[in-house]
Amino acid sequence: MRNWILASRPKTLTAAVIPVLVGTVLAASESGRVIWLWSLLALAGAILIQIGTNLINDALDFEKGTDRADRLGPQRVTASGLIDAPRVKIGGWIAFALAALTGVPLILRGGVPLLIIGVASIIAGYLYTGGPYPLAYHGLGEIFVILFFGVVAVGGTYYLQTLSLNVSAIVSGLAVGLLSTVLLAVNNLRDMEDDQLTHKRTMAVRFGRRFAVLEIAVCALTPLALGLWWLARGEWIAAVLPLALVPLAVSIVRSARQDRGAILNRTLGKAAALHAGYGVLFSIGLLA
C-alpha cells in the first residue's frame, strides 16, 4: 500500500484540488449559493484522473527509458522496481475507470458539456505520456497542464455549479493553469540533460535553459498580474491578497536561474506552495 501511495504522487494532488476550490468559490461569490455535493464529486473525479495520469506516466516513462533508478527527481515506483510496469498501468486504468463512474452524476447534472470534459480529460491524461504522439515527449505538456489543470478544471467546476460559463471563470482558470505549469517547467528544467539523452523533447530541451527560465518567470508572475482583471471588476481583495506571494514567485525564478540538478527539487516544493497559496488567498479574497 505504501508503494501505491508513493506511485500516486500525493504531494502533486493539490494540482487537482486547487482548480475545484477556485471554481467552487467563484461560483459561490457570483451566485450566492453552492451545492457542495457537485464540487465534492468533481474533486473526487479530478484526483482520480490525476492519479491515473501519474500511474500511466510512471510506467511509460520507465518503459521509454526516461526514468531510471538514479533519476534526479522524486522516487518512481516502476524505475525503483517496487511495482512492475504492467501492474502500474492497470492501476492507472482502474483510477480512470473510477473517475468515469464518479462523473456519471456530474453528466446527469451538466449534460453534454460535462461529458465532453470528462472524456477529454481521461483521454488527455493517457496521451500525456501514452499513445503514438505522447504530449510530454513533444513539448506539449505545458498546453495540456494549462488547459486541463486550469481552464477546463476551474471552468468545468464553475459550470457544474451555475450551468453557465463566463470570462471570470476562464481568467481564473488560466491563472491556476499557469501556476500548475510552473511545476512542470521546473521539473523539465531539472531533467533537461537526461531528457535530451532519451529524446524527450520538452520545451526546455527544444529551446534551451534560458527559455525554460523565462517560461517559469512568465508562468509564475502572470497570474499575479491578472489581479488587474479582478481590480477592474471591483474585487480588490481578490486582486491584492495573492500579491503576498510575489517574494515566493521571485525566489522560484531566481532558483531556476542559479540552481542545477537535484537542488531544483526544493524549487519544485516552492512552486507547489505558490500554486496552493494562490488558490487559497484568491479564494479568501473572493469571499471577503
Mean pLDDT rounded to a whole number for the chain:
93
31 vs 34, 107, 126, CA distance in Å? Answer: 8, 21, 35
Count of all residues that appear for the chain in the document? 288
Lowest mean pLDDT among 68-77, 96-105, 119-128: 68-77
b/e code 72-105 from CB counts within 10 Å (16+ = b): beeebbbbbeebebeebbebbeebbebbbebbee
Question: What pLDDT is attached to residue 193?
Answer: 86
Residue 68 CB partners (closer than 8 Å, separation 6+): 79
Tell me the per-residue pLDDT of 133-174, one tens digit each, with 9 for 90 and over: 999 999 999 999 999 999 999 999 999 999 999 999 999 999
Q: Closest Cα partner for 83 from 9, 3, 1, 2? A: 3
d(CA 235, CA 54): 36
**What percent of the chain is modeled with pLDDT above 70?**
98
Q: To which residue does cell 488558490 refer? A: 279
d(CA 30, CA 146): 24
d(CA 188, CA 194): 10
Question: What pLDDT is attached to residue 66?
Answer: 80
Q: Give the global pTM.
A: 0.94
Q: Closest Cα partner for 130 from 222, 41, 59, 49? A: 59
Say if CB 11 and CB 268 are below 8 A apart: no
Residue, of 131 and 222, whose pLDDT is higher: 222
The pLDDT-based confidence of 276 (bands split at 50, 70, 90) is very high
Question: What pLDDT is attached to residue 67?
Answer: 73
pLDDT of 278 over the 70 cut:
yes
Q: Closest Cα partner for 146 from 112, 175, 107? A: 175
